[in-house]
Amino acid sequence: MDGYRLVMRHFGWKVTSVFIATLLWIAIWWDMIEKRGDSAQDQGPLGTRVYEDIPIIVLKRASDTNRFVLEPSAASVKLKANSALLEKTLVSDLRVSANLIDVPRTNQFLVPLELDVPARLEVEFLKPRATEVRIIENQNFAEQ
């Protein structure tokens, strides 16, 4: 009889604690299932995709009033990643830039291109690797 009295004493609290523990276990289990699903999408089949005619962005000082012509003015990028991720990646997510902040004092020169891509994307190639810059107008108002 002592065992029965021990089990039945505060029975409502015991049932409540088992119920809360079960809900907590289900919540943790559900979270693990969702995370496993997210990581499974990242581990799908790998693919490659070529993005062409990405405009080259010119980075220069605000005080630099020179006008530039880039040849070529666009680039191509080949990326490797999960196929689903490549399908979601747009040309606007990729950034190809030419840094003209510290350029030579000549009217024509080559500048290496820099590429910024979203995380989890691997760059296979960037073509061209550099762009030719020609200054077509040299008006530096800061010197006047």
Which tens digits make up the pLDDT trace of 1-57?
577 787 788 889 999 999 999 999 999 988 887 776 555 455 568 888 999 999 999
Give dist(CA 81, CA 130) in Å, integer: 24
Write the single-letter amino acid at 20.
I
Residues 117 and 98 grouped into a single domain: yes
- What's the residue count for the chain? 144
Q: Which domain holds residue 85?
A: 46-143
C-alpha closest to that of 129 among 117, 113, 115, 116: 113
C-alpha closest to that of 138 among 69, 65, 71, 70: 65
Residues 66 and 102 grouped into a single domain: yes
Residues 37 and 102 grouped into a single domain: no
Task: Look at residue 17 in the predicted model and tell me its pLDDT.
Answer: 95
Report pLDDT digits (tens) over 46-72. 888 999 999 999 998 888 888 888 999
- Number of domains composing the chain: 2
| Rounded average pLDDT over 63-85 | 88
Residues 85 and 59 grouped into a single domain: yes
Tell me if 126 sits within 8 A of 77, measured CB to CB: yes
122: which residues sit within 8 A by CB, 6+ positions away?
Answer: 79, 80, 81
